[in-house]
Structure 1
Amino acid sequence: MKTHVKALIVGGGAVGTSIAYHLARAGWSDVMLLERDELTSGSTWHAAGLLPLFNMGYATSHIHDYSVKFYKTLEEETGLNAGFSVVGNLRMAQTQARMDEYMLYASTAETVGIPYEWLSAKDIKDRYPLVHTDDLIGAIYHPTDGYINPADVTMAMAKGARQRGVTIERKWQVDGFEWRGDHWDVHCTKMVEKGGNLFASDERIVIHAEHVVTATGNHAPRTARLLNIKTPAIVVEHQYIVTEPDPALVAWRKENGEHPVLRDADARWYVREERGGWILGPYEDNAPARFQYGVPDSFRADLYPLDLERIETEYMSFIHRLPSSETVGLKDDYNGPICYTPDGNPLVGPAPGLRNMWLAEGFSFGITAAGGTGYYLAQMMVEGEAEIDMAALDPKRYDGNWMTTEYAARKNEECYSHVFILHHPDEEREACRPLRTAPAYDMQKAEGAQFGQVNGWERPNYYGPKDAPSNFDHDSRSFRRGSWWQYAEDEAKAIRETAGLIDATAFTKHKLYGPGAVDFLDWFTCNKLPKVGRINLTYALTGAGTTRTEYTIVRDTHYEFYLVSAGAWSAYDADYLRKAMEDWTAAKNDPTQWIIVEDVTTKYGVFALAGPKSRDILAELIRDPQPDTALSNKRFPWLSARDIELKMCPVKAIRVAYTGELGWELHHPIEMQRYLWNELTAAGAKHGMKLVGARAQNWLRQEKSYRAFGTELGRDATPLEAGLDRFVDLSKDFHGKAAMEALGIRSKCVTLLIDGPSDADPWGREALYDGDEKVGRLTSGGYSVAFGRSIGMAYVRPDLAVPGTKLSVRMQCQLWECEVTEDSPYDPTNARIRQDG
C-alpha cells in the first residue's frame, strides 16, 4: 500500500470518487482514495439518485449542470452503465408565487445554459394524463435531467479514476491528521469486519500526503474534530417510500416510455418511477438531526426506524396528485441520514486555518453535486482557482466562534423542511434567532426594524410599522415588490433628501500593526497605502489575479492600520489575511519585520450616518475645541479618518458613505452603543433623519456604481474587469498582479437603468441579451429613487460596456429594455459627498 501521495481523498462515496477522478484527469498522477468501509456505504447507497438542475445559486447551478452532462459520458469512457435515466423533470406550481419563483430561477438557468420549457396545466394533462392538474397553474420542465443509480455512477467514477492511475483502498479509517510544514501525516487504521460490524485492527500506517481532501459525508463532525475545526455539516433523517407497481403507470409506459420525475413543490415532495411503481420523497417538518457528535461505530449502511406518521400529509397529497396510486401498496421504505448545512449548500474549498487541507462536506444533494464538485474543486487545487466563483460554498462561511453544534443541528432541521418552501430572494429564516445582537438591537426592534441575519448577526433590513405583527416580514416577502418595498423606498429617499442612520456593526474589522505592516500590506493589496489619517479602498487578489477581498484601510499611525471588510465574510477574510501574512513573513525571513493582526469585529460597533443633513446632526454632538470647523472639509476632508468625541462616546469617524451622500462611518466601543444610538436618534429627529436598513442601502450604492463583494466582486473577475482601475496601482508589485495582467479584460462591470415591469425589480441574477444573443448576467439589482427606474449591475462583453448601449434583461419570462449608463450615474462628480459646511 502506498505511503507517499500527492493527494489523499478520504471518503468513498459519489463525491469522493468524483474528486479522485477529476484530480487525475487534471494531471495529478499520484492520487489515493481511502474508504473506511465499502464504496457507496454512506448516504450514497440509499440516495434516490435524483439529478435536479433547479437551484437558485449561480455556482451551484454550474455544479449541477456539469454533473448532468458529465454522467452521460461515463459509460463510453469506462464501459460501465451509470444507470442514468434521462426522463426529464417536471416541477409543478399550484400558485402564482411559485411560478414567480420558477421565472426567477429560469433567468439564472439561462445564464448557465440550462434548457427548460414552460407548461400550462393543460399541457401537463395532455402529456402526462396520470397527473391531477385541476389545482395547478403550470410547471417548468427540464428535458435533460432525470435520475441515476447512485451506486452505479459511483462505481463508474471509481473505475474511471483507477484507469487514470488513482489508487483506491477500502477498509481503512483515518484516525488523525498532522501537518508537517510541507505535507500531512495521515494516521490510518485497518478495519476488519466481524459479525456484521466493523472493528479497528492492530494494523496501522501513516500516509504522507501533500494535499488531503475530506469527503466523509455522515462522518463530517468526527472529521472536523480530528482537524480541530468547526463544521455545520450534520445529518438529518430523510424518509422515502417505494410503492408496488401502479397498473396505470405500467400501461402508460408501454405507449410512452418512462415517466418524468415529478416535483410538487407546494406539496413538498418528489416522485419518480421505480420498476413500475413510484418512489415518493417528502421534505416534511420535524425531521430530526442525528449524529451531531459523530456516527456510532455500529452504524454502517444502516437506516433509522420509520416514522411514517410524520409524512402522512405529504403521502396524502401524493395520492391527490397521482390518483392511480391510491390503491397501490407500499413495497419498501427508507429512513436514512442525509447531510445538511444551514443554508443547504455544501462546504467546498480550503479548510479554515489549515494548509493543503480541502473540504467537500455537507452535501444534501450529493449525487447531483458530486460530478461538478470534483471538477471545480480539482480546478481550485491544481490551478489555484476555479473558472467560476466558488465563494458561496466556501467552508469558512460557518467558521466563526459563534457557530456551535446546537446551532448547526437546529438550522439543518430548518433547512431540510425548507427544501420546497418558496425561496424568496428576500427570505429570512427564523430558526436560532436572534443569536448575535448588537447592543442597539432592542431599540431598533422597538422602532419597527425587520432583521436579516448576516454571519449570525441581526441586521435591520428595513424599518416597518412599530406595531407590526411577528409575521409581518414573512408575509411581506415576494418575488416582486413585497410590502416591505415602500418602507425601503422611503428610507432611500430620506438619505438622498435629509439623512439616514444605518447599523453596520456586522462589518469585519481587523487591526494590523508592527514593523512589517507597511511592506506586507503594500504587497498584499493592489492600491497605494493611505497616508496617516487617511483611508483607501483597496483589494487583495487571489494568486490567479482575481478579487479575493475588498478592504477599506484606515492608517492610524505609520505602522498601525485598521482594516474594514464585508460583514458576511469575517472568517473568510480573516483566514486569507492570516495565511497571506504567514507566507509573506516566511518569504522575508526577517524577525525584525514582525506583524500582529487582531480581529476586533466584536469590539467595535459601527453606525453609518449619511445624507445632506448628516453634518448638522453630528455638529450637535461633537465636542471639539473648534466645533464650528470640526466637520469642515478643511479639518475633516472626504476619505479621511479622525478620532472624535460625540458627547461622552469616543468615536473613530471615517468620512465615507456607501450610499454616495455626505456621511460618516462612526466606529465606537460596542459597550457604548446604546448611549450613542440614543444621542444620534435624538439629534437626528430635529433634522428629519430616518432609520435605514440594508435594502435601501443596497439600492443607493448601485446608483453610485459601488461594487459589492460577493456580487460584483469575486474570484471570477479582476479589479480591472470590475472597472476599479483607479484603485489599482500598476506602478508597484503586489500579490496576483502578473496573473491579473495576463488575464486581460474578458468582461466589464457596468451599471444599467432598466425599464422593467411596474411591480417588480431585478434581484441580481437575471440574464442579459443583445438582441437574441445572451451577453451577460446581472450581479445586483433593485430600484433607483433618483431615476425612478429599476437599476442593476452586470458583467458584459467589453464592446458592450459603453454608456448608451441598449440591451435587454430577462424578468418574469419577458425581455425588458435597459441601457448601460455612465459609472456612478447619480452625482458622477461626487459633489454631494464632498460638500463643505
Structure 2
Amino acid sequence: MKTHVKALVVGGGAVGASILYHLARAGWDAMLVERDELTAGSTWHAAGLLPYFNMSYASSWIHDYSIKFYTGLEAETGLNPGFRVVGNLRMAQTQDRMDEFMLYAATAENVDIPFEWLTAAQIADRYPLVRTDDLKGAILHPTDGYINPADVTQAMAKGARQQGAAIERRWQVDGYDWTGSEWRVTCTKMAEKGGNLVSTDERVVVTAEHVVTATGNHAQRTARLLGIRTPAIPVEHQYIVTEPDPALVEWRKANGEHPVLRDVDARWYVREERGGWILGPYEDGAPARFRHSVPDSFRADLFPLDLDRIEKEYMDFIHRIPSSEQVGIKDDFNGPICYTPDGNPLIGPAPGLRNMWLAEGFSFGITAAGGAGHYLAQMMTEGEAEIDMAALDPRRFGPWIASDHAVAKNEETYAFLLKPHYPDEERPAARPLRTAPCYDRMKALGARFGQVDGWERPNYFAPQGFSDKDAWSFRRGGWWPFARAEAEAIRNAAGLIDASAFAKHVLKGPGAAAFLDWYTTNRLPKVGRIALTYALTQAGTVRSEYTVLRQAEDRFYLVSAGAWNGYDADHLLKAMEDRADDFGPMVLQDVTTQFGVFALAGPHSRDILSRLLRDPDPDGALGNKRFPWLGAREIELGMVPLTAIRVAYTGELGWELHHPIEMQNHLLDRLVEAGADLGLQPVGARAQNWLRQEKSYRAFGTELGRDASPLEAGLHRFVDLSKDFHGKDAMQALGIRSSCVTLLIDGPDDCDPWGRESLWQDGTRVGRLTSGGYSVAFGKSIGMGYVRPDLAQPGTRLTVRMLRDLWDAVVTEDSPHDPGNARIRADG
C-alpha cells in the first residue's frame, strides 16, 4: 500500500471509482481506499437507471457527460458495463405535468440533450402494453437507459488502474490530520469476522496533498472526523422485481426492449428485467436512516420491504401496465440512498478545510458518477470546472445545518422526487427555522415566504386565505398579480423589502485595504462611499459579488448574496490566510445575524425617511448634496441608529437601512406608519427580481458565476484594469466568449420565462436565458441571458423557446427602464 500520493480518494462506490479514474487520467498519482469491497455501499443495490431529466443546469451537464462516458468504457477497458440504451419515456397525466416537461426541455436543449415528444396515441402505438387513455403525452430520451452499477464501477476501477492509480480494499479511514501542507490520513485494516467487518491492529498513515471523500452512506461519520457539518443522510428506497410477465415475453418476441417507463404522476419507474419488471416507487413516508453513522454490522445489507407503504404506487403500476396484475413478486430491495435537502449532491471544497474535497449526497449516484468525477477532477487539477458548479457546492449549506433539519428535508426531497418541480414552489418541511425579528409582522402583512440559506424571506404578499399551493405553476402562478402590484408600487410610490438575509461581513485591520484591493476587481471606495465589485476565480470568472462600504480607512463592510454566506466567507478566509504575509494583519467577522436590512425604494422613499429622520440639520439631509447616490451615512430613524446606504436594487430612488437586528420591529413599525398615506407597500423577492431585470442588474447565481467573467457579463465599469487583482490575467485571456444581454419578449399571455430557456436566430441556437420574469414598465415579459457577442447589439431580433414554441424577443440597451438613472439619482 502506498504511503504517499498526490490525491487519496476515500470510498469505492461508483462515484469514488469515477473520481479516481479522472484524476489518474489527468496525470495525478492517485489511490482509492475502500473499507469493504468496491460497490459494497449503495452502488450494489442501485437500480442502475440513467435519467437525463433534471432541472439543474449543472446536473444536466453531469448526467450528459456520464451517459456519453459510459458508452466508451468497454472499448477502453475490455469490461462491459452493461449499458442498455433503451431510452426513457416520461409520461404525463396532466397538462401541468406536460408544462413541467416543456420547462425541463428548455434546460435539456441548452445542453444538447436529445429528446422527442409523444402523444398518448403514439405511446399506445409504440408500446401497446401501456394504458394511455388517461395520459396527456410524454417526453422520450432516446439515448437514455440503464446500466449495471457493479459492472460500470469495476470498469472505471480498471480504467483507473490502467492509468496508474492504486485501489486498496478493506482499509477504513479513522482520522484526518492537516499538517499545513498535506493530509495525514490514518487507515485501519479491516477483517471479516462472523459476517461483520472489524478493525484490526494494523494501521497505516497515508500522506496526500489532496483528499476526496466519496463515502456515501457514511457521510455523517466522515463529517465528524473532519469537524464539519453536512446534510447528507440516507433515505430508504425500495423496489421490487416481478416474475416474468407473459404479455411482455410475447411482445418481446417481435419487438425491442421497452424504454425505462416513468409514470411520474403515479410516482414510479419501471424497466424490463428478464421478462418481468423492476418497479421503483417514490412514496410518502420513506424514513431517513443512519442519522449519525452506519452500524458496523451493516454492510451490503438491506432493510425489510414495506409493501404497505408502496401499495398505492404498486396499484398505479398495475393500472398503467394491466398485464402486470397477474404477475408475482420475485425479489425485493430496500436499501439506503443518500440525499440532501435540495436533492443535489455535494461536489467541491469542504468548508474551512484545505485540499479536502467532498463528493457526497448522491441520490442518483450511478447517473452522476461519471460527470461528477470529470468535473471534480477539473476543479482539483485546473482550479475550476468548465461549467458553473456553484449549485452543487458543499458550502451552500451553512454550519447551522443540524441532523433534525437534514432528516426532515431529505425525507421531503425523497417524497417530492417525482412530484411536479415547480420553479416557484417553496417546500414546507423544517420551516420556519431561521427568522428575523420582523417575521411575525411580515406574516401578519400577508407575507408568503421563501427560504434562503435557511432564512425566511418574503417572496410576495397575499391576502388572508390565499393558499401557497394555489400559487405554484409552470406558467404565471397565483402569486403573479400580487407581485405585479408590488412592482408597480415601487415604480409609482414606495415599497419596503426585508433583505435581512444578505450575507454581511466586516473586514478590518492594517492589511484590509491592500488585501481587498487585490482580492476584488473595482477600485476601493472612499470612506463613507460604496462600490460594487467582484472577486474572481483563478480562471478569471466570477467567484462572488460584493457591495463594499468603506467605514474607515482600514474597515470595510461587505454585503453579498444571502444564499452564499458560507461560500463567500470560506473563500475570503482562505485568501486572507494565503496572503497574510503580503498585506499584514486583518480580521473577518460574520455579522449577518447582527444586522437586519430593509430596502426602501420608490419615488416617495425620501419623504418617508424624512418623517423619521432625527438630524441636527434636517434641511436637505437626504438630498444629493449631503447624501449622494452610492453614499452611506450613520443616521437615526426614530429611536434606531443605523447605517443608511443610498442604493436600490430595484433601480428607483431608495436606501438600504442596515440596522441593529434587535431594533428591527421598532423600525418596521415606524416605517409602516410613516408611509401609510404615501402608498408604501411591503414587497417580496419576486417583484424585486422583475425590477432588477428592468435595470439589467446582474445577479449572482444567474448571470454571474464561475462560467463567465465580469467582462462577459458586461460589467466593465466595475473592473479597474489599471491595477493588479486576483484572476486579472486569466480574465483577460478568456476574451469575450459570450455577452450578457437584456431582452424584451412578446411571449404567451399566461407565461413568463423562468431563466432556463434557449435563444434562437434563424433556426440556430445562439444562447440561453439566465433570468426571466415580467416587466411592469413595458407590459411584457423580460429576460436576461448570454448570446454570441455578435448578437449583443440593441435591436437584435431573436426568439425564445417557451412552452415548445418560439416567441419574438429583442435585445435592448442595458437598463431599458430609466437608462440615464434619473430616477435613482433624483434630488430632493
TM-score range, shorter chain: over 0.9
Task: Give the superposition deviation at 1:288.
Answer: 0.4
| Letter aligned with residue 780 of structure 2 | R
Which residue pairs with 1:712 in the alignment?
A: 703
The aligned runs of 1:389-400 (5 Å cut-off) are 389-398=388-397, 400=398
Q: Aligned pair 1:606/2:602, yes or no? A: no
Counterpart-to-counterpart distance in 1, 2:110 and 2:675: 44
Which residue pairs with 2:242 in the alignment?
A: 243
Which residue pairs with 2:623 in the alignment?
A: 632
Instruction: Name segments (4+ residues, structure 1) moved above 2 Å.
Output: none
Which residue pairs with 1:487 in the alignment?
A: 482
Contact 1:452 1:460 in 2 (8 A): yes
Task: Give the superposition deviation at 1:24.
Answer: 1.1
| Letter aligned with residue 700 of structure 1 | L
| Residues 54-95 of structure 1: CA deviation (Å, up to 9, x unaligned) | 000100000000101110000000011000010000000000
Task: Give the superposition deviation at 1:254.
Answer: 1.3
| Letter aligned with residue 744 of structure 1 | G
Which residue pairs with 2:24 in the alignment?
A: 24
| Letter aligned with residue 516 of structure 2 | L
Which residue pairs with 1:454 in the alignment?
A: 452
Counterpart-to-counterpart distance in 2, 1:508 and 1:584: 23
Task: Give the superposition deviation at 1:107.
Answer: 1.0
Tell me, what secondary structure is at the counterpart of 1:686?
helix
TM-score if structure 2 supplies the norm length? 1.00
| Letter aligned with residue 100 of structure 2 | E
Tell me, what secondary structure is at the counterpart of 2:674?
helix
Tell me, what secondary structure is at the counterpart of 1:833?
coil
Which residue pairs with 2:110 in the alignment?
A: 111
Counterpart-to-counterpart distance in 2, 1:604 and 1:3: 49
| Residues 731-787 of structure 1: CA deviation (Å, up to 9, x unaligned) | 000000011011111111000000100100000000111111111110000000001
Tell me, what secondary structure is at the counterpart of 1:359?
strand
The aligned runs of 1:288-687 (5 Å cut-off) are 288-398=287-397, 400-465=398-463, 467-469=464-466, 472-586=467-581, 588=582, 593-687=584-678
| Letter aligned with residue 482 of structure 1 | G
Counterpart-to-counterpart distance in 2, 1:206 and 1:137: 59
Contact 1:502 1:693 in 2 (8 A): yes
Counterpart-to-counterpart distance in 1, 2:529 and 2:717: 17
Which residue pairs with 2:3 in the alignment?
A: 3
Q: Percent identity?
A: 75
| Letter aligned with residue 6 of structure 2 | K
| Letter aligned with residue 426 of structure 1 | D
| Letter aligned with residue 196 of structure 1 | G
Which residue pairs with 1:807 in the alignment?
A: 798
Task: Give the superposition deviation at 1:541.
Answer: 0.4
Counterpart-to-counterpart distance in 2, 1:789 and 1:153: 49
Counterpart-to-counterpart distance in 2, 1:613 and 1:46: 62
Which residue pairs with 2:826 in the alignment?
A: 835
TM-score if structure 1 supplies the norm length? 0.99
Tell me, what secondary structure is at the counterpart of 1:490?
helix
Counterpart-to-counterpart distance in 2, 1:479 and 1:628: 50
The aligned runs of 1:717-796 (5 Å cut-off) are 717-796=708-787
Counterpart-to-counterpart distance in 1, 2:53 and 2:762: 26
| Residues 703-731 of structure 1: CA deviation (Å, up to 9, x unaligned) | 00000000000000000000000000000
Task: Give the superposition deviation at 1:258.
Answer: 1.0
Contact 1:651 1:666 in 2 (8 A): yes
The aligned runs of 1:196-207 (5 Å cut-off) are 196-207=195-206
Task: Give the superposition deviation at 1:468.
Answer: 1.9
Counterpart-to-counterpart distance in 2, 1:259 and 1:806: 43
Tell me, what secondary structure is at the counterpart of 2:781?
strand
| Residues 782-826 of structure 1: CA deviation (Å, up to 9, x unaligned) | 000001110000111110111000111100000001001000111
The aligned runs of 1:83-102 (5 Å cut-off) are 83-102=82-101
Tell me, what secondary structure is at the counterpart of 2:253?
helix
Which residue pairs with 1:69 in the alignment?
A: 68
Task: Give the superposition deviation at 1:595.
Answer: 0.1
Contact 1:448 1:468 in 2 (8 A): no
The aligned runs of 1:170-181 (5 Å cut-off) are 170-181=169-180
| Residues 339-397 of structure 1: CA deviation (Å, up to 9, x unaligned) | 00000000000000000000000000000000000000010001000000000000011
| Greater mean deviation of Cα atoms: 766-775 or 693-702 | 766-775
Aligned length, in residue pairs = 828
Which residue pairs with 1:690 in the alignment?
A: 681
| Residues 164-189 of structure 1: CA deviation (Å, up to 9, x unaligned) | 11100000000000001111000000
Counterpart-to-counterpart distance in 2, 1:627 and 1:274: 80
Contact 1:45 1:150 in 2 (8 A): yes
Tell me, what secondary structure is at the counterpart of 1:178?
strand
Task: Give the superposition deviation at 1:27.
Answer: 2.0
Counterpart-to-counterpart distance in 2, 1:5 and 1:468: 62
Tell me, what secondary structure is at the counterpart of 1:831?
coil
Counterpart-to-counterpart distance in 1, 2:253 and 2:762: 44
RMSD (Å), alpha carbons: 0.6
Q: Aligned pair 1:819/2:810, yes or no? A: yes
Counterpart-to-counterpart distance in 2, 1:265 and 1:401: 34
Structure 2 residue runs of 5 or longer lacking an equivalent are none
| Letter aligned with residue 445 of structure 1 | K
Tell me, what secondary structure is at the counterpart of 2:375?
helix
Counterpart-to-counterpart distance in 2, 1:88 and 1:481: 32
